[in-house]
Structure 1
Amino acid sequence: MKQIYVLIVALTLTSCEYFNVKKTSPEAILNEELKTFNWNDVDVYPSFSSCDSIESKPQKTVCFTDVLTAHILKHLQSETIVVTHDVTDTINLKFQVSETGVLSLLNIEVDSTIIKEIPNIETLIHSSLDSLPKVFPAIKRGQQVKTEFELPVIIQAN
């Protein structure tokens, strides 16, 4: 009988450990969640209203870049540009779309031959963005986020 009492007391003292609940801090949960994030990808790419009917993410991305490229090229084609030699080259444009949908041109990488033939190319590109349709920002986990992307634009002048 004594052995049963000792066993019950031993089980009672050791079983309390099973009832202790370990609390996890919100910071630990946040840090664990941040580790699983892919910061280089968004759920919804920035878009224009003309791309709203497209559902798939890759097609929506292509639509956005196509509309932006077409708008820039249309503006450049409407300008009178006189060159002394044929120019066929690529300009790399680096953009940022803010959380509010403001498109900013961060950097223009232009080859020296284009600058020599079309010295005001940077001004023309900046002015083409003034008449751009409304841009809807990218979305990550239900929140509008700032994104940066590069866009190559092929310039051909004869």
Structure 2
Amino acid sequence: MFFRLVILISIIMVTFSCDFISPSKTTLRNTALLDTVIDYNDVDVYPLFLDCNNCDSSEKQNLCFEMELLRRLQKITSKNSLGASNAVSDTIMVDILVNTEGKISIVSIQKNPNIEQQVPELDSLLFKSFALLPSTVQPSLKRGIPVNSMFTLPILLSTKE
């Protein structure tokens, strides 16, 4: 009789103890869900020029990347002059892509239709300038994996007659 009671208690403990030891199914499901949810609008590390590698926060790295990109573009475009039929002062928005290899390219250029008429060679100058940028850019990283990243770069266009 005692032997049967011990066996019965052992069977009951083995049967129900697994539920107390192992995590619940909802906990496992939530953990797996968190591991698979990826925020595609944010990256862990922004693209970096080698000069910006010493910045301590991601906001400073992003600002350094944008400022360095503008500085390098200004250096390239300052060697070229644009001719305009009238004085032009406007901001154009350039959507750029930094791909997984660190190559920077133009996706689109948004500008006032008047600028197209007054400065027809603007697009070709921008494409040429971006092609001359060095490819020493570290791409954006998401969970340690290089990813494409898009930026909108405002460029102030100012010409004289």
TM-score range, shorter chain: 0.7 to 0.9
Residue 140 of structure 2 corresponds to residue 138 of structure 1: yes
Measure, in 2, the Cα distance between the counterparts of 1:94 and 1:102. Answer: 14
The verdict on how the C-alpha distance between 1:19 and 1:80 changes in structure 2, with shifts beyond 3 A counting, is closer
Measure, in 2, the Cα distance between the counterparts of 1:59 and 1:112. Answer: 35
Give 5+ residue unaligned stretches, structure 2: none
Show the counterpart of 2:115. 114
Show the counterpart of 1:68. 69
- For 2:141, the aligned partner's letter is I
Q: Is the 8 A contact 1:96 1:149 kept in 2?
A: yes
Show the counterpart of 2:151. 149
Following superposition, the deviation at residue 74 of structure 1 comes to: 3.0
The verdict on how the C-alpha distance between 1:56 and 1:22 changes in structure 2, with shifts beyond 3 A counting, is closer
1:125-145 CA-to-partner distances (Å, cap 9, x unmatched) read: 000012212211111222222
Following superposition, the deviation at residue 42 of structure 1 comes to: 1.4
Q: Say what the alpha-carbon RMSD is for the aligned residues.
A: 2.6
Measure, in 1, the Cα distance between the counterparts of 2:18 and 2:79. Answer: 76
Show the counterpart of 2:36. 34
Q: TM-score, normalised by structure 1?
A: 0.81
1:50-71 CA-to-partner distances (Å, cap 9, x unmatched) read: 2122222111111111121222
Measure, in 2, the Cα distance between the counterparts of 1:74 and 1:85. Answer: 24
Show the counterpart of 2:129. 128
Q: Is the 8 A contact 2:82 2:121 kept in 1?
A: no
Q: Is the 8 A contact 1:98 1:146 kept in 2?
A: yes
Measure, in 1, the Cα distance between the counterparts of 2:116 and 2:76. Answer: 18
Residue 57 of structure 2 corresponds to residue 59 of structure 1: no
Alignment: residue pair count: 153
Following superposition, the deviation at residue 32 of structure 1 comes to: 3.2
1:18-50 CA-to-partner distances (Å, cap 9, x unmatched) read: 2365798xxx66543123x33221121101112
Following superposition, the deviation at residue 148 of structure 1 comes to: 1.5
Q: Is the 8 A contact 1:71 1:128 kept in 2?
A: no
Measure, in 1, the Cα distance between the counterparts of 2:41 and 2:67. Answer: 21
Measure, in 1, the Cα distance between the counterparts of 2:50 and 2:23. Answer: 49
